[in-house]
Structure 1
Amino acid sequence: MALSFQDIHEDVDRILFTEEDLHNRICEMGRQITADHEGESLLVISVLRGAAIFMADLVREIELPLEMDYMAISSYGNGVKSSGIVRILKDLTSSVEGRHVLIAEDILDSGLTLSYLIRNLQARNPASIEVATLLRKKTLQQAKIDCRYVGFECPDEFIVGYGLDYAERYRNLPYIGVLKKSVYEK
């Protein structure tokens, strides 16, 4: 039996950040990035697929010349915990050498994938690398990553919506919520 859109909403235990919360905070982040990078142009990189929605909304709030590019990196597969193995599935088409790079990340969880990405990009000689993450989970074992721009701190629970998924579902929810354990503990 196919799931309806209403079924997908019913899989959410509670909403953490509403559509309005997301819009307001991303506008604030865009204004701050604009102020911090006055007179510069940016290469904004999205980690597919989860961060694509966040990046689309964020770049519309940045009033600077910029270019967008995408990478696909995986350390999860279809599981709920990181596999510990990071793979580049799609690399950039743009050169980062000598450029100011802003990584738009959906969620900083373990930090494994983002740490790998930062090291990989640093080897390509950018002028600078900064991170804008929509969410940062409160976890004890998180890699030490300097995120200059953080949208929200969130609890260490399974989060979906606004680009974040479980087994490729729930990305199109307009809010961010906690997925019911009964959905992924089957």
Structure 2
Amino acid sequence: MPNKTPECLYSLAHIDGALTAMAARINTDFDAPSDPLVVMVLLKGALVTAGALLPKLTMPVEVDYIHASRYRDNRAGQQIDWRAGPSLSLAGRRVLLVDDILDRGVTLQAVADYCREQGARRVASAVLVQKILPQAAVVEADYVALTVPDRYVYGFGMDNAELERNAPGIFAL
């Protein structure tokens, strides 16, 4: 019988350190005080990541969100369900997409393409975790805080059947 006890992969302290390091790289790459960065949060999963990352960014930022999902309360990805678009104009803007997890990259790629279609002049992506899979994702994130094995993970914004987004760390089943 498989072990049903979750394993803590990363503590809150470890996550904070990884986000601090990621923010330092973003601050270096986007240091332009006269040109606010649009931080586009991919809901729902990236809400906690964005909340922890934003205070670590040193440039002016505007925050918006986009709600697109392939999972619809399931663990297996499906076609993208576009639930809400951003309210800010992206034309001529620098956009940083913030997402919780990069596995296959289908949703992140679709959102990045959408931002470019809206006229964003630069689109970069920052993810809390990248899942190590046998096949490469369809898109690479520009900034990755942590990696996780090819297991079902939850916590720090990522859900386990829509629950446990508030788990104090990142856990694997």
2:149 to 155, 164, 178: 155
1:100-132 superposed Cα distances (whole Å, 9 cap, x missing partner): 000001000121111111111111111100000
Larger radius of gyration: 1
Q: Distance in 2 between matches of 1:25 and 1:46?
A: 18
Stretch of structure 1 that moved more, 143-152 or 54-63: 143-152
Any residues of structure 2 matched to 1:110-129 within 5 Å, and which?
A: 110-129=104-123
Q: Are 2:7 and 1:14 equivalent residues in the alignment?
A: yes
Shift of residue 146, structure 1, vs aligned partner: 2.8
The answer (yes or no) to whether the contact 2:105–2:140 under 8 Å persists in 1 is no
1:76 aligned partner:
71
1:174 aligned partner:
168
Unaligned runs of 5+ in 2: none
Any residues of structure 2 matched to 1:71-110 within 5 Å, and which?
A: 71-83=66-78, 85-110=79-104
Q: TM-score, normalised by structure 1?
A: 0.86
1:8 aligned partner:
none
Change over 3 Å in CA distance of 1:177–1:12 after alignment to 2: farther
The answer (yes or no) to whether the contact 1:133–1:147 under 8 Å persists in 2 is yes
Q: TM-score, normalised by structure 2?
A: 0.93
2:159 aligned partner:
165
In angstroms, what is the RMSD of aligned CA positions?
Answer: 1.2
Shift of residue 142, structure 1, vs aligned partner: 4.1
How many residues are paired up?
Answer: 168
Shift of residue 141, structure 1, vs aligned partner: 3.4
1:37 aligned partner:
30
Amino acid at match of 1:102: L
Shift of residue 140, structure 1, vs aligned partner: 2.7
Shift of residue 166, structure 1, vs aligned partner: 1.8
Change over 3 Å in CA distance of 1:14–1:87 after alignment to 2: same
The answer (yes or no) to whether the contact 2:45–2:158 under 8 Å persists in 1 is yes
The answer (yes or no) to whether the contact 1:122–1:129 under 8 Å persists in 2 is yes
1:145 aligned partner:
139
Q: Distance in 2 between matches of 1:116 and 1:175?
A: 28
Amino acid at match of 1:92: P
Q: Distance in 1 between matches of 2:112 and 2:140?
A: 10
Q: Distance in 2 between matches of 1:48 and 1:69?
A: 10
Q: Percent identity?
A: 28
Unaligned runs of 5+ in 1: 1-10, 180-186
Q: What secondary structure is seen at the aligned counterpart in 1 of 2:107?
A: helix
Moved runs in structure 1, 4+ residues, more than 6 A? Answer: none
